[in-house]
Each structure stands twice: as C-alpha cells, then as structure tokens.
Structure 1
Amino acid sequence: MFGRAAALAAAGRPLLRMEVGMPHSDTPAHIKQATIDALLAGKVHYSNLPGELHFREAARDKLKRKNALDVPVDRIIVTNGLTHASYAAIMALIDDGDEAILLEPYYPQHIGKIELAGGSVVTAGLDAANNFAIDPARIEAKITPRTKMIVLINPCNPTGRVYTRAELQGLADLAIRHDLLVVSDEVYEDILFDGAEHISIASLPGMEARTISMFAFTKSYAMDGWRIGYMVAPDWAIGPLLKITANDVTHVNTFIQDGATAALTGDPAVLAGLVAEDKAKRDIVVSRLNQMAGVRCAWPEGTIYAFPDIRETGLSSQEVAERLLEDAGVAVEAGSFYGPTGEGHLRVCFGSLSEEDITEAMDRMQRFFGAL
C-alpha cells in the first residue's frame, strides 16, 4: 500500500496518508541540540561496540524507573532502532528448524527475520470478539518440541492493545512451563491512553533470564529517521547478540547517542506533550470512525493506530483499502496484511498527520462508507 500510495503521490494525486506508522511531529529541539553539540565537540569516531557508556547508563536508569528492570549496563546493547534489535535477537537465538510463534494479528516484518535465521513461523490467532486478548490456550496449542520463542509486541501494533498484567502472566507461565524465550517489542511503551499501564514482561517472576526486551525512540520522540534503540538481555545472550551487531553494523552512530541520552534525561513534559497530541488525534479518528456506516472501532489503549472493524460492509479489507485509496485519496492498510485474523479490519495510523489533515481524511472516509 505504501508503494501504491507513493506512486500516486508522485503522479500528483493529493493523498492523505495513514498507512505508515510514521510520526507527524518533529524531533524535540533539545534532542537535536544535544546531537549538534556532540558533532561540534568532535564525537565523530568509533564508539564502544555495545554503545556509548553515558547512553547505556541513562537507559539503565530509565529501565529501573519505568520498566521495573534493574540491570547493569553490560546487559544493554544500543541498536539501529528496534528493527535492528529484533533482527539481532532472532539471528542470534533462532537456529535451523526452530519455530517462533507470532501472536496474530502480527507485525509482518518479523516473518522475514525468522526465515532468514532458518526458522519457521507459527502463528497463534487471537480472537477479535475478545478484543484480541492474549489467550494462553490458543498459544499453547501451537507449541511443539521445535518451538524456541514467542514474539510479543506490547503495546500492540496493529490492534492498539496494551496487555494487562494477567494477560502477560499467562504468557509468562507458558514460556516458563515450556522453556521458551520471549522477544518483546516495546517500541510503543510511552504512548498510552486512558490510564493504560505498560508492563515489561521481563519484570515478571522468572522471565528476566528468558526475555530479550527491546526499546526505541522512533514513535515516542518522533525519531523514526534517527534509527536508534536498545535492547536488554540476560547475561548468557549478550555474547551471541554482540556477535550479530558487531558484524552487521559495528556500532550505532556515535553522536546520535548523545541525542538519545537527552531524550531519556530531558524534561518529561516534552514526552507528555507528544503523547497528548497522539491522544487528541486518536479521539478524533475513533469517534469519527464509529459514526461511519458499516464501521465499528474499539478505542486503542496505546500506539498510534486504530483497527476498525469493517466486516459489515461485506467487502474484504484489501478491497476496502484499495478503494479508499483510489476513490477517496486516503491511504490505510488492510488488516489482512497482519494475518488472517486481521481480515475484516483496517489499520489506520493517526500519528502520521496533523489534526487538520486527520479531520479531512475522516470526512473523506465518511463519505466513502456512506456511499457504499
């Protein structure tokens, strides 16, 4: 859908693009300034392979404060965004013939990483009627002697769920009982609404030694183009992980780690302001979607996505997405892109546009669904 929208935009078609999880806001000024200062100070040479010590110290303090993870700096590795962290984790820990379970609707990019590592993807479909809650029975039914890991995204892209402690405990119990690893994508940890609480699964009893926890600045601080994140791993996994990261990128750009440090140590009001903008946009999108003919939309508890149910239209999610692009000039993604469980839904990114453009996009979508 991104490619089709890009081609139409290049041809001069005025589009409102809500298909890509890209923040609309600019990176906060204090983060940019810290990076500029680092450049001007000559921080342009090689860094430590796992990352600059001052950044890892700031990450350590944040992990203890926000994630209930009390870890030393030598268990933190700086990465080129969360995508790189998950690539390193899967490449280091999945061997030929291993199986990795994705909770469906899943994030499609994880599939290629598992396959590149020689593993097989197994999906455990969650129930839309149960708000895509983690269901241990559905997951356990997919576990075989070859299962090595479960990949978790919390808060969840694309559904907008923020999993409860009880849901995460159910998943943790499975991992412990079957001796499985968990690779936990927590890139949306800061973007929470209506009192939702983000819990890192590694903080649950018995999970720290079997979990790779991954974080980034991409969404929270509007730093998608910066490509910086970090992961936390047990002692036994650090060597294998560094074998991947040292050989594929050597280390993350030295000077941008000063910017990331400023993000972690700066005024929390900056982050709160960015999240407040996301909430205002969410409120517009979800309230408007629920006014459209044949559309029902649960309120996302986190992330920058709404996942409306369009099954009442009688059309497939791919057909609706394509017709919205062609007929209304609004780009969204088909829920089926996230696996069969996502069929009958659309993923609508409300973080990628201004409030004014979001309102126009909702007007166009309302006319489109009304005309059906």
Structure 2
Amino acid sequence: MKWPAQRLSSGSKKSFGMYQEASELARNGADLIRLEVGRPWADTPLHIKEAAKAALDAGIVHYGDFRGTLSLRQALAAKLKSFNRIDVDADEILITNGLTHASYAAFMAAIDPGDEVILLEPYYPQHIGKVEMAGGVVVSAPLDASDNFSIKRELIESRITPRTRMIVLVNPSNPTGRVYTRAELQIIADLALQYDLLVLSDEVYEFITYEGHQHLSIAALPGMRERTISCYAFTKAYSMDGWRIGYVVADKALMPALLSVTMNDVTHVNVFVQEGALAAVTGPQEPMLAMVAADQRKRDMVVEALNRIPGITCEAPQGAIYAFPDISATGMASADLARAILRDVHVVTEAGGFYGPAGDRHLRVCFGSESQERLVEGMARLTAFFSKL
C-alpha cells in the first residue's frame, strides 16, 4: 500500500526535537537530566485528583456534551471575565483535549488552503504542522534577539500579503520566556484590525509569570474579542499535562466550524477528567501559586548558573518555564551543541534552531521539568561540559 507521504508536513516531521534522540539513550539506561520537554515536575494537586476519582465513583462515565460539561464552561467563563478580562458566555467556550487539540481545531476551522499564517519567530514548532495540515502556508516573522525578541510593527507588517489570514501569538512565549507588554500586543491588534486578520492566541503559560510581569490576553483589547481565537490548557499551571484537557474561546460565529472539527475527531472530551478540571478552576489556587513560586526559584538558580559559564549569557525569562541562553560565543550551531551536550554529559536541552533560524544562537533549557536537586546536578554537568570547549 502506498501511503500519502505528502500529508506528513515538514512541521509534523520535526515536532519532537531532542526528545526522540534522548529517549533512545534513556531506553539503554543512561542517567539523563531531561531539560528539553516543557512539562511540569510536580504532581497534580490532590483536590483535582480526588474530584476525578469522585466523578468515577458517582458514575460520571458516559457520553457528555459535545461542547464540554456546562458547569466547567460556566466556571471558565467566570475565570475569563475575572482574570483575562474577556467577557464571554459558556457557549463561546469549547473543551478540548489539551491546547494542542484546541489550536488544531482552530486552524482547521479558520484556515482555507492557500491562506497564509504568520508565526512570530522563534515560534512553537507544533503550530507549523497543524497550519500545513489545514492547507495553510506558514510565514515566519523573525524577532530580534538583540532587542529581547520584542514585537515591532515593521517586522510583522512586512510579512502581510493579500493572502494573510491569521497571526499566531504565544504569550507568555515559548521558547523565549517573554511576557508581551500591552504596547506590543496593541501592535498586533492594530495590524489585525487594519488588515482584517484573525489572531490565534496560545496562552498556556498565562499563570506563570515572574517579578511583576503580568499576562494580558489580546482578546481583551478593544476590537479584538471578535477576531481572536484564544487557546488555554490546564497543563502547566495545574500540572495536568497527562490529563490532556484544555479549551478554546472564540466568537459564537466560529463555534459551528470548531464543533465540526472536534465532533469528528474526538466527539467530546473525557467526562470525569472534566470534573478534575472543574476542581482546578473553582478549588484552592494555593497549590498552583506554590508551583509558580518553585518555578521562580528554579529559574533564578538556572539563570545564575548559566551566566557564570564563560561565553554564555542568559536573560531571566519573564514568564513560562524556559531559559533561552545565548550560546553564539561557542561558534557551534545549536543543534550540534545540544547533541554534544547530550552525548558527553547526558543533559537534554533543546536546540534554539528548532524554533526557527531566529533562535539558532540559543538553547532552550526547561527548568520546570526536573526537581531542584536534579537541576543543580544538570547545571554542574553543563558547567563541566562548557569548561572543556
């Protein structure tokens, strides 16, 4: 049988970066310190797990609402109004299998073959494959590392053509750790309004910000609620990556198209998992705040350790769970350097070039995925590695 290889886009072929290479070593028993995968280290808070268990015991095991449990969508509508300043009702929220599924549905619903989609670079590479599967064309807008990857109007406007349909925003940013200011978001909003564009806003790190940097949802800006598709998940802040639950927020006019995608690929999301998500939204937030505080302590240690290495410079990320050190002084391409680090000291980092050419002078180091003790060991191994270059 001949399989349709052309459907395997360049984006989908390279979606896992160093993870696959590291996994081969791990299967052979190597003691790896995994700083390449953006996953939380902590366990899911107990009250969330207990809610899911109680749902099972109560017989919440059958088919549910295609859009997601009403009580969860109502709770999320309240959260969106209070935290994100987005005034929506439950019918403008669709529960999904994580943010990956939310963005997939959004691209499939909103992008026609030949539509151009602008990604700010360094970008989140999984978005590429989904755009291409929808028949869209990815257009990169490289941000300037020397300007701390700030959003500038000319960098994006120069990529807009008559075929442009959407701008994709990840805020806080993966991989750079930027938390975009209101002025930066207003640039994107102004372009969307002027050129009649949609914005897909990936806000999975919305709660993970540091030192007074505050997350702002672009849909809260004037004129943007109707043209923004906002995507969220419980993955990072509530340490629920394996639960696979998120949600997409969009204007009612787009909901039928979104539902036509999700009803045909998953029908609806696991019902008792949604009860756990409801407990996350409505229950105590102290476990989440404690995890963010722990992430900040780990961030501070990792950034300090990286900056002590001769030739390495690292800005303290404003949000998310990644350091993005500049390794250009080594003279090595980021992919070669990441492989050498993996081979020589068994620390798994991600090549900055995985996020586009604008990131190639960097490595992405996830400080959220290991314990404090393992991070200390990882920084010691990296220091030893660079001392031999």
Instruction: Give the TM-score category using the shorter length.
Output: over 0.9
Counterpart code for 2:268: H
Residue of structure 2 aligned with 1:209, choices 217, 226, 233: 226
Counterpart code for 1:231: V
Counterpart code for 2:126: Q
Instruction: Name the residue aligned to 2:381.
Output: 364
- The alpha carbon displacement at 1:120 in A equals 0.4
Residues 270-297 of structure 1: CA deviation (Å, up to 9, x unaligned)? 2110101111110110010000121000
**2:365 is aligned with 1:348:** yes
Residue of structure 2 aligned with 1:269, choices 266, 286, 294: 286
Instruction: Name the residue aligned to 2:251.
Output: 234
2:289 match: secondary structure: helix
Counterpart code for 1:206: G
**2:67 is aligned with 1:50:** yes
Instruction: Name the residue aligned to 1:306.
Output: 323
Identity %: 59
Counterpart code for 1:239: P
**2:39 is aligned with 1:35:** no
- The alpha carbon displacement at 1:88 in A equals 0.2
Distance 1:261 1:354 in 2: 27
Distance 1:338 1:254 in 2: 35
Counterpart code for 1:264: V
Residues 245-291 of structure 1: CA deviation (Å, up to 9, x unaligned)? 11110000001111000000111212110101111110110010000
**2:128 is aligned with 1:137:** no
* 1:318/1:335 contact within 8 Å kept: yes
Residue of structure 2 aligned with 1:90, choices 100, 107, 110: 107
Distance 1:285 1:214 in 2: 29
1:196 match: secondary structure: coil
* 1:335/1:346 contact within 8 Å kept: yes
- The alpha carbon displacement at 1:12 in A equals 1.1
**2:252 is aligned with 1:260:** no
Instruction: Name the residue aligned to 1:119.
Output: 136
Distance 2:303 2:207 in 1: 20
Distance 2:285 2:272 in 1: 22
2:166 match: secondary structure: strand
Instruction: Name the residue aligned to 2:9.
Output: none
Instruction: Name the residue aligned to 2:7.
Output: none
Q: How does 1:163-182 map to 2 (within 5 A)?
A: 163-182=180-199
Counterpart code for 1:205: P
**2:351 is aligned with 1:334:** yes
Residues 102-158 of structure 1: CA deviation (Å, up to 9, x unaligned)? 000000001100110011000000000000011111100000000000010000000
Q: TM-score, normalised by structure 2?
A: 0.95
Distance 2:244 2:30 in 1: 30
Matched pairs, number: 372
1:149 match: secondary structure: strand
- The alpha carbon displacement at 1:315 in A equals 1.0
- The alpha carbon displacement at 1:13 in A equals 1.2
Instruction: Name the residue aligned to 2:116.
Output: 99
2:241 match: secondary structure: coil
Instruction: Name the residue aligned to 2:5.
Output: none
Counterpart code for 2:386: F
Distance 1:5 1:293 in 2: 26
Superposition RMSD in Å: 0.6
1:322 match: secondary structure: helix
Distance 1:370 1:172 in 2: 46
Distance 1:327 1:245 in 2: 44
2:231 match: secondary structure: strand
Which contiguous aligned blocks of 4+ residues in structure 1 show a shift greater than 4 angstroms?
none
Q: TM-score, normalised by structure 1?
A: 0.99
Counterpart code for 2:44: T
- The alpha carbon displacement at 1:24 in A equals 0.6
